[in-house]
Amino acid sequence: MSLRIYGNRQLKTLPGKETRPTSARVREAVFNIWQGEITGCRWLDLCAGTGSMGAEALCRGASLVVGIEQSSRACATIQENWQQVANAEQELRVLRGDIVQQLKTLTGKQFDRIYFDPPYASGLYQPVLEAIAHYQLLDPSGEIAVEHASQGWTPPEIPDWEVCREKLYGNTSLTFYRIRSEGSGADKGDEEQYNS
């Protein structure tokens, strides 16, 4: 099996249900929202699956892409997919293992854009977002996009972060976080602007 990304490039996928690639619609939406922010950015792909989001970031000029994935088969596929689309100036790294443990190994690094797409019923949302905040992995001007089911999901509250955008795509939703800047308490006007 394969899937197509930016520039009509083909990526390998894993057979069966071991990974669930982000749908083309959601993938396109994320890169439209972050248009103009990807070139030269440092991208972190969490629960990377087949690596389609990281591959898309590489195709659009990210300088660094790091992926974390539990499955060793998936990690091999990610590595292959990313090497296929990366150029010599781009840095890529695939980390295998428990996501919270692997986040700790990134202490001292910061990322401009983080994409987090765990199995929806995994219970990973709160501990992973707390770990990102604890290890200060999000650049002060960066954003995190969290993919989740549209029904029955409450955004975890993370100290000093705010939800800056929420988008709905059928059964899938995206919630975007950023670090709250001084005096930027999101009032009703902000929420309406981001939800429109």
- Structural domain for 80, as ranges: 24-143
Label residue 6 by pLDDT band (50, 70, 90).
low
pLDDT in tens, 18-41: 455 677 889 999 999 999 999 999
DSSP-assigned letters across all residues of 80-121: HHHHHH--TT-EEEEEES-HHHHHHHTTT--EEEEEE---TT
- CATH number where 115 lies: 3.40.50.150
Specify the length of the chain in residues: 196
The domain total for the chain is 1
Is the residue at 103 inside a domain? Answer: yes
Instruction: Please choose, from the candidates 119, 115, 148, the residue with its C-alpha nearest in 3D space to the C-alpha of residue 132.
Output: 115
Is the residue at 151 inside a domain? Answer: no
Is the residue at 10 inside a domain? Answer: no
The SS3 assignment for 161 reads strand
Task: Identify the sign of the CA torsion 83, 88, 89, 91.
Answer: positive
Is the residue at 179 inside a domain? Answer: no
Is the residue at 128 inside a domain? Answer: yes
Instruction: Say yes or no to pLDDT of 138 above 60.
Output: yes
Is the residue at 153 inside a domain? Answer: no
**pTM to 2 decimal places:** 0.86
Is the residue at 15 inside a domain? Answer: no
